[in-house]
Amino acid sequence: MLDQSETTHFRTCPLCEAMCGLAITVRGDEIMSIRGDVDDPFSRGHICPKGAALQDIHTDPDRLRHPVRRTASGWERIDWDTAFAEVVAGLKAVQARHGSDAVGVYQGNPSVHNLGTSLFSPAFVKSLKTKNRFSATSVDQLPHQFVAYLMYGHQLLLPIPDLDRTDFLLILGANPAVSNGSLMTAPDVKRRLKAIRQRGGKVVVIDPRRNETAALADEHHFIRPGSDALLVLALLNTILGEGLANPDRLAAFTDGLERIEPLVAEFTPEQVAPQVGIAAATIRQLARDFAQAPSAVCYGRIGVSVQAFGAVTQWLIQVLNIVTGNLDRAGGAMLTTPAIDTLAVGGKGNFARWTSRVRGLPEFSGELPVVTLAEEIATPGAGQIRAMVTSAGNPVLSTPNGRQLDAALAGLDFMVSIDFYINETTRHATIILPPTSPLEHDHYDLVFHVLAIRNTTRYDPALFEAPADTRHDWEIFQTLAGLMTATADSPPRKPIPPAAMVERGLWAGPYKLALETLADHPHGIDLGPLEPRLPERLFSADKRITLAPELLVADLARVRAELLHAPDSGPALRLIGRRQLRSNNSWMHNSQRLVKGEDRCTLLISPHDAAQRNISAGQQVQVRSRVGNVAAAAEISDTLMPGVVCLPHGWGHGLEGVLLGVAQAHAGVSINDLTDELAIDPVCGNAALNGVPVEVEALG
């Protein structure tokens, strides 16, 4: 008999990076309400509409609870033993015929929000012995990891803006007021941004769109998409030229400080202003304000990561924080001291140990850039991908030229997806293995505590018991790894469940916490503000910062040739993306409460560009790029810089075979039917999703 009294459980929202505490009231197996947990010392009761929509995922009739197999007449339910056996047979058959590299893997964003996947997918992926591994990293934060690896010796040693103490926040290409922060876990981020100004500090936003964060800032400046490297170079030029640099204690363990001034010499504000679209005087003033603030931090996110100069820009942002002495000091960019030291166990990083077969793009930490996935599947020859494993990802909607990938996936010999939805990607699977719902398994943020603006820790046991005959992500991976590697004389080993691994990690960590202590604190434990960690925390062998890594210094030649002395970009408009509060990448559109209301998949266009093309508000327009075209309603808005248009990402659910009833009724179009798999940052292979040249014309 189910207990029919109401009880309230506290757990972390796993959807975005903010780690909000939730208070979930249930009666039996029914969710009565989901609210913000006011007693969570970190999130203080904050919640966004997606947090409440966790209920919709949990109860969604379209969410798979048991494995399915694709047949000519539709999907058929199969039992777990059959599913596992057929998956292993399918993968092994392709390996036997074509070699290990013929099996490709794609891991999506929720992988890092899922404890079981984080802990158990690596062994399975390793068991495949394939060089064809891909993930959402290369449409996202690859430049950050690449730069951290080169400068600090560990791909995850990412300096985090000390939001609660900074006097000056310079934001390039991020919209935390909507995204709730990224590589900057900061629940209730809007309140924290407002607090900067309330205590006399300053917030400046640089963005081709006057976004929702700009509304909270002192200043906003439009910037031509993809030109941020020039802006930061000019800031450095001014700071060094005017004698405003002061690396302070960082100088003692930083190599290459003397190299920066000559490198930035030609990038004066006057030189870059026409390309960047910001007046020279404004750039100079910004440089002075930044350098002279008691503390300051420059923070660049997706807008500067997924562009052709992502790595060099993320590097220059680090240099700016360092030469002004703002790395590793209160109010600057700081390093965390997480309760479980994920960095100590995770790999430091590797680069270019191999390259992709077709385009020769370099591996980073075992993964190839996902821009090359479709051609690796579609191009015949030795090493061609003939089978795919996807887990917690939807690359048909989330990676550039999604239509090309869609077609390539349709031609595979075998595909398995570990996912609870039949969406644009998983509809191509031979077999889908669905994990339990987010409320049915334990949760601990192994990654986001490392990226948080305060040191905190929080462990959440499963809220609901998993229904009979279901599997958690970790059980799926553990079973698959076991079956892939088992031989007659070495049967699969008994696994250590996630909770026990968390317990070990906590105990080995800097605070020596017991899991019981966390269990006694269901609202989480605050471990205090970030503290200076350098140089001890560096992972470089000599405990020194490499301020001017050769790979990045060399890329300044491309900045010079393609940005500073860029030929006139012609009449094409530049397409950028946007996030929306009630979306989470591609996969929350099956929640009625999140999609209700007006069509959100609109093309933002400036009044100037609309007038030039005789486009009126709400009119359907066609957007065309090198790779494809889509139609959307125009939304004329002066929040957009002239010459730039903007579509949200994650929409485009109208493809045949998608089994998401609500999402299909609000299908929208996919921006990644326009983004170009050939547009990349050549240094690390990250996708250049922003700044895509497009033409727009009125329809009908």
Q: Scanning residues 182 to 241, which ones bind ligand SF4 (CB under 6 A)?
A: 187
Nearest-approach distance from CB 495 to Mo ion, in angstroms: 29
Give the DSSP H or E segment for 267.
none
**Spatial CA neighbour of 189 closest among 19, 322, 22, 348:** 19
471 contacts ligand SF4 (rule: CB under 6 A): no
Q: Which stretch binds ligand SF4 (CB under 6 A): 23-31, 43-51, 457-465, 529-537?
A: 43-51
* 430 Cβ contact list (under 8 Å, min separation 6): 69, 70, 86, 90, 414, 415, 416
Distance CA 156, CA 336 (A): 11
Distance CA 665, CA 197 (A): 42
Question: Of 140 and 503, which CB lies nearer to Mo ion in the complex structure?
Answer: 140
**Contact letters (x/-) for ligand MGD, 366-405, by CB under 6 A?**
-------------------------xxxxx--x-------
Coil, strand, or helix at residue 11?
Answer: strand
Q: Scanning residues 3 to 22, which ones bind ligand MGD (CB under 6 A)?
A: 16-17
**Contact letters (x/-) for ligand MGD, 131-150, by CB under 6 A?**
-----x--xx----------
Instruction: Provide the token pair at 403.
Output: 């239509």
Question: Of 205 and 323, which CB lies nearer to ligand MGD in the complex structure?
Answer: 205
Phi, psi of 243 (to 5 degrees): 65, 30
Question: Of 154 and 458, which CB lies nearer to ligand SF4 in the complex structure?
Answer: 458
- Taking CB under 6 A as the criterion, the residue among 9, 10, 11, 18 binding ligand SF4 is 18
114 binds, among ligand MGD, ligand SF4, Mo ion, none (CB under 5 to 8 A by kind): ligand MGD
CA distances from 650 to 304, 384, 589, 601 (A): 19, 28, 9, 9
Nearest-approach distance from CB 116 to ligand SF4, in angstroms: 19
Nearest-approach distance from CB 55 to ligand MGD, in angstroms: 15
Coil, strand, or helix at residue 399?
Answer: coil
51 binds, among Mo ion, ligand MGD, ligand SF4, none (CB under 5 to 8 A by kind): ligand SF4
Binding site for Mo ion (CB under 5 A): 140
3-state secondary structure 296-339: CEEEECHHHHCCCCHHHHHHHHHHHHHHCCCECCCCCEECCCCC
Contact 22, 37 (CB under 8 A): yes
- Taking CB under 6 A as the criterion, the residue among 143, 226, 310, 524 binding ligand MGD is 226
Distance CA 396, CA 416 (A): 15
451 contacts ligand SF4 (rule: CB under 6 A): no
Distance CA 52, CA 59 (A): 12
Query: What ranges make up the beta strands (E) of 409-515?
Result: 414-418, 431-433, 454-457
671 contacts ligand MGD (rule: CB under 6 A): yes
175 binds, among ligand MGD, Mo ion, ligand SF4, none (CB under 5 to 8 A by kind): ligand MGD
List interacting residues with ligand SF4 (CB under 6 A): 13, 15-16, 18-20, 47-48, 50-51, 180, 187
* Residues lying near ligand MGD in the complex (CB under 6 A): 16-17, 108-110, 114, 136, 139-140, 172-176, 178-180, 182, 206-209, 211, 223, 225-226, 228, 301-304, 307, 391-395, 398, 418-421, 423, 435, 438, 473, 576-581, 583-587, 649-650, 671-672, 675, 689-691
